[in-house]
Structure 1
Amino acid sequence: MIKKGSVVKVLRPESYWYQDCGTVAKVDTDIKYPVLVRFSKEAYNGVNSTSFMIEELTLVE
């Protein structure tokens, strides 16, 4: 189960962080992209977090 503080791997191919690992910052309900994930590296525009659907993430053990 994905919850705050979990380490997850991104499975969305069009994402800048595809196949990278990040830490879950927040999990909402009743919205399309409920999981906010923060990463150690920044994207080209200085952003280091984005939201994903639960199906686009997998837990890292």
Structure 2
Amino acid sequence: MKSFLWLLIGVALGFVVAHKVNETPKGREFFGTLDKKARDFGEAVSDGYRQREAELRSAIDGD
């Protein structure tokens, strides 16, 4: 239970620090870049999933 409390405190402090950093121009630039990279990664994973799904469906339909 004590570890969970420390985890919650760490998460809360992380949000507070991120909010303060986001108030600066360099912070907004950093989080904007981070957001773009995360979105690009998510799109790549999604595209790969769709491609693999199509391959598997094609293999199943071909049998």
Structure 2 length-normalised TM: 0.17
* Structure richer in strand, relative to its length: 1
More helix by share: 2
* More contact order relative to length (CA 8 Å, sep ≥ 6): 1
